[in-house]
Amino acid sequence: MAPIPEDLKNAAQRTRKLSKEYVTKGDFHSLVGLYTEDCKLYMPPPLGFISGRAALRPICEAIYTKNKTVIEVQTQEIIYDGGDMAIEWASYTTPAGDTPHSPDISEGNVMCVWKKVDGQWLIYEETVIGSKPSIRTQLFELYMNWGKAFIAKDYKTAASLYTSDAVILGPGMAPVKGRPAAEKLFKHLHDHYGVHTYKMLPGYEVKEITANVVTLRAKYSAISTCGEEINKGGMFSVVKKQDDGSWLIQQEMYYIIPESVIAEPPPQC
């Protein structure tokens, strides 16, 4: 992963500080200004999905004005692969809400996607995770773990996140079946194409098919060992819940955006 820019670290700290100041003053116009115009938030019930600053402002007013709560957020990890986007994992604590507008959670975690807009880091996506993470959050964590294993070249661990009968489909390749074949595929992607990691782009969609089967539709960006984007594409996954409550990937289908160029041979840094 690329070094974390100082302006990104400072932005995260500054945003937490300003958030508390704005809430205390009741300045919700400035509060939502810490988010991008097209921001997306995923909150615990009953709030659910919130899109855009205009929709976010009344929610903030309802939560903070009626409950007089100030959320304390502490950064745990920032993941940055270069470019104008980054992911932050943080923990939070707050008094439990006592109105229908406020989620009944006193502590949990927050996943933020930061985006640099006109030279300023703003929050683009924010997922609030309580003590029982949503399916969406669990799937995101699943792919985050996959990405960490892939970066570490721990292809066996990456393959273990698939079911034993998993099938991976992609352009120009025969179906890859089972964990041993998946492990070989991941190594091939790194050695032959120079892929350092895959970055899931914001806006992924999760649909529950049954209580134990969900689908995930997302777009991704492949980053080379030089830190450059190799190609962009989309993916469709079928993910199955296991007896121990964990989720594993049962089927994955990939496609590459036509105008995207696959670097071959691997780029030389």
What's the CATH architecture for 135-256? Roll (3.10)
Predicted confidence (pLDDT) per residue in 109-134, tens digit: 888 999 999 999 999 999 887 655 56
Do 135-256 and 6-129 fall under one CATH topology?
Answer: yes
What's the CATH architecture for 6-129? Roll (3.10)
Average pLDDT over residues 24-48: 88
User: Which amino acid, one-letter code, is at 127?
Assistant: T
Answer yes or no: is pLDDT of 30 > 90. yes
User: CB–CB of 36/54 below 8 Å?
Assistant: no
Is residue 182 very low, low, confident or very high in pLDDT (cuts 50, 70, 90)? very high
Map out the domains of the chain as residue ranges.
6-129, 135-256
Residue 83 gets the label, from left (phi > 0), alpha (psi -120 to 50) or beta, of left
Q: CA of 230: how far to CAs of 15, 138, 190, 199, 263, in Å?
A: 32, 27, 12, 11, 6
